[in-house]
Amino acid sequence: MAAHEYNPDEVRKRRIKGRRKKSVREWFIFTGYLTPSFLGVLLFFFGPMLIVLVQSFQRSATNSEFVGFDNYVNVWNNQAFRSAAKNTMIFAGLAVPLAVLLSLLLALLLSSKLPGKSAFRSIMLNPMMVPVASIVLIWQVMFSYNGAMNTYMGWFGIDKIDWMKSDWSRLVILILFLWKNLGYNMVLFISAISAVPQEQLESAKMDGANALRRFFSIKLPYLWPTIFFVGIMSLINSFKIFREVYLLTGDYPVDALYMLQNFMNNMFTHLDNAKLTAAAIIMCIAMIIIVGALFIAENRLGRDTEE
Partner 1 sequence: MKKNAITPLQIRNDSAFHEEGEHEHASIRELKEVEIVRLSEEEIEKRHEKGRAVARRQAKVRKVTSRIWTALGLFLATLVAIFALMPIVLTILDSFMSTDEIKTNYSAVYNSLSSASAETKTYLSSTPKLKMIPDSVSFSQYKTLLFLSPTYLLKFWNSVALVVPIVLGQILVGCLASYSFARYRKKRREVLFFSYVILMLMPFQVTLVPNYLIANKLGIYNTWWAIILPGIFSTFSIFLLSKYMRQIPSSYIEAAKLDGANEWNIFTKICLPMCKSAIYAMAILLFIDYWNMVEQPLILLEDAGKQPLSVFLSQINASEVGVAFAASFIFMVPPLLIFLYGEQYLVEGISRSGIK
Work out how close the CB of 84 gets to partner 1 at its nearest, in angstroms, rounded to a whole number: 9
Can residue 221 be called a binding residue for partner 1 (CB under 8 A)?
no
DSSP per residue, the chain: --TTS--HHHHHHHHHHHHHHHHHHHHHHHHHHHHHHHHHHIIIIIHHHHHHHHHTTBS-SS---B-TTHHHHHHHH-HHHHHHHHHHHHHHHHHHHHHHHHHHHHHHHHHSS-TTHHHHHHHHHHHHHS-HHHHHHHHHHHHSTTSHHHHHHHHTTPPP--GGGSTTHHHHHHHHHHHHHHHHHHHHHHHHHHTS-HHHHHHHHHTT--HHHHIIIIIHHHHHHHHHHHHHHHHHHHHTTHHHHHHHHTTS--GGG--HHHHHHHHHHTT-HHHHHHHHHHHHHHHHHHHHHHHHHHHHHHHHHH-
Q: State which of residues 24, 101, 148, 293 lies at the interface with partner 1 (CB under 8 A).
A: 148
- Residue span binding partner 1 (CB under 8 A) among the ranges 9-17, 69-77, 190-198, 212-220: 190-198
Can residue 68 be called a binding residue for partner 1 (CB under 8 A)?
no
Can residue 90 be called a binding residue for partner 1 (CB under 8 A)?
no
- Residue span binding partner 1 (CB under 8 A) among the ranges 11-19, 74-82, 115-123, 197-205: 115-123
Q: State which of residues 24, 158, 195, 296 lies at the interface with partner 1 (CB under 8 A).
A: 195
Can residue 145 be called a binding residue for partner 1 (CB under 8 A)?
yes
Can residue 216 be called a binding residue for partner 1 (CB under 8 A)?
no
Cα 82 off chain centre by: 21
Work out how close the CB of 27 gets to partner 1 at its nearest, in angstroms, rounded to a whole number: 7
Range 160-179, binding partner 1 (CB under 8 A): 179
Q: State which of residues 100, 104, 110, 274 lies at the interface with partner 1 (CB under 8 A).
A: 110
Q: State which of residues 101, 141, 158, 296 lies at the interface with partner 1 (CB under 8 A).
A: 141
User: Alpha-carbon distance 74 to 59, whole Å?
Assistant: 11
Work out how close the CB of 268 gets to partner 1 at its nearest, in angstroms, rounded to a whole number: 5
Range 236-295, binding partner 1 (CB under 8 A): 236, 239-240, 242-243, 246-248, 250, 260-261, 264-265, 268, 276-277, 279-280, 283-284, 287-288, 291
Can residue 122 be called a binding residue for partner 1 (CB under 8 A)?
yes
Range 31-60, binding partner 1 (CB under 8 A): 31-34, 36-38, 40-41, 43-49, 51-52
